[in-house]
A and B are shown apart, each in its own frame.
Chain A
Amino acid sequence: MVARWGIDDDMNFEDVFAKYQKLIYNLSRRIMGNDEDAQDITQEVAIKVYRNLHKCKGEDFVAAWISKITHNTCMDALRKRKGKFTSSLDDTVGFDDGEVQVQIEDEAIGPEALLLQKELNAQIETALLKLSTEYRTIVILRDVNGYSYEEIAEITGLPEGTVKSRLFRGRSKLKNILLREQNQSDLR
């Protein structure tokens, strides 16, 4: 469980921040989609960690605890700007709930198509940003950060079933975005 945090008395904020600053920055950077927001979020998370470090009870949970704070801080920031900004990229992908628009035939090009793509890492980072936040966050927590379903449920406050469904949908969408871009690239 992630709900009960723990931290040794001899661990101080500076040590914790030194160890987890990259986790905070990279998670927020991927959720928010840009460096500037990630810097602000990292600062905000640092203050929250600093103020609440005494609540921690176990070193094993610090990463998940910090991820939860980071996730919540990102969600708060995104909520605040809701209405001011919507992702046009999401719109262009245009998924209906659970239904991918890329047809099965597209996958017939085979896995080698994805394998042959240069700079797949960069492409997948870009493709991640085309997912809506709800899918992106779960995919990042699972596939980039390696958290279990249970941990992701704790971090996000979602039921495990929702985590599972968002994960497979997010992965499918991501795969299809890459395939679609591959197809477009082949057409050029």
Chain B
Amino acid sequence: MKNWDEVLSLYIDDVLDEKQKADVEKELAASAVVRVKYENLLIVTQTLNTLSEVDLPEGLADRILWNTTAKHTQKAKSRKAQWITRIASYGTVAAAALLFGFYFGINRDDSGLYTPEADEYSSIEMTASLDISEDAEFGGFEPIGVRLFSDENFEYVTDAEIQAEARTLVAPVTANVQMTALSNEITFFVNDIQEAINFFALTFDGFQIVSQRGDAFATVEVPAEDNGTLLIHLMKIE
């Protein structure tokens, strides 16, 4: 006795030879049971064939791209830039100190890390221009516009456009930076991930990724002992 589910499955896929197909069609004409089997099977396969694809959850594709490519390129960039970063990091930390120092140091918790209050930056708007000394091994930040405000979730957002010119050995790098400060972290969001990685690879030795939210790649911690410099942690993934 024929296994009609098997034969009909092959018939639907059109992989039977002409004689087998003729046998099936003869049976379909003669047997109501086989015909019902066939029609039900056809409905199932046709329905499966029309199942739609769902979109990836919002942000997933970007996050995956970032996680996938950054992990690899970052290592290479870090290796290449290792000796440069040693030279450059001191000047950059100094620049960052000047950049952030004017609004850090306002509110520090027991751990020594800066923690903004909900309403702290809700209405503050300020701009500053910094011109790092020609003596700095790493170039200058200028001009700098900083706008600070909070949203309903008490997330502190600053917009800044920083033009960083690497005066040592590399072509000028421009980074458009959006900064989001949450709790004691300053998280940088950049428009161009690769550029940002290059920028920070050249700038900081041993940077760390602490967020996998698409384009976030760094945090800044502010120590309690403000002796004129900031402790900046840019951390690696993993």
B64 touches A43 (CB 8 A): yes
B51 touches A47 (CB 8 A): no
Given contacts A111-B36, A168-B10, A171-B5, contact A144 B51 (CB under 8 A): yes
Partner of A164, one of B10, B48, B52, B64: B10
- State the Cβ distance, B76 to closest chain A Cβ, in Å: 13
A124 touches B56 (CB 8 A): no
Q: Cα distance A170–B213 when bound, in Å? A: 40
- State the Cβ distance, A42 to closest chain B Cβ, in Å: 6
Give how many A residues have a beta carbon under 8 Å from the other chain's beta carbons.
Answer: 47
Contacts of B65 in A (CB 8 A): 14, 17, 46
- Of all chain A residues, which has the CB nearest B43? A114
B53 touches A22 (CB 8 A): yes
Say yes or no for B30: interface residue by CB 8 A criterion.
Answer: no
Say yes or no for A121: interface residue by CB 8 A criterion.
Answer: yes
Say yes or no for A31: interface residue by CB 8 A criterion.
Answer: no
B48 touches A149 (CB 8 A): no
Q: Cα distance A125–B44 when bound, in Å? A: 11
- State the Cβ distance, B195 to closest chain A Cβ, in Å: 15
Give how many B residues have a beta carbon under 8 Å from the other chain's beta carbons.
Answer: 37
- State the Cβ distance, A21 to closest chain B Cβ, in Å: 5
A143 touches B67 (CB 8 A): no
Given contacts A43-B68, A121-B47, contact A168 B37 (CB under 8 A): no
Say yes or no for B69: interface residue by CB 8 A criterion.
Answer: yes
Given A125-B51, A144-B51, 12 other A-B residues pairs in contact with their CB atoms under 8 A: A17-B68, A22-B54, A104-B33, A107-B33, A107-B37, A115-B43, A120-B47, A124-B48, A144-B49, A167-B9, A168-B9, A178-B44
Residues of A within 8 A of B (CB): 13-14, 17-18, 21-23, 25-26, 29, 35, 39, 42-43, 46-47, 50, 100, 104, 107-108, 110-111, 114-115, 120-121, 124-125, 139-140, 142-144, 146, 149, 164-165, 167-169, 171-172, 174-175, 178-179
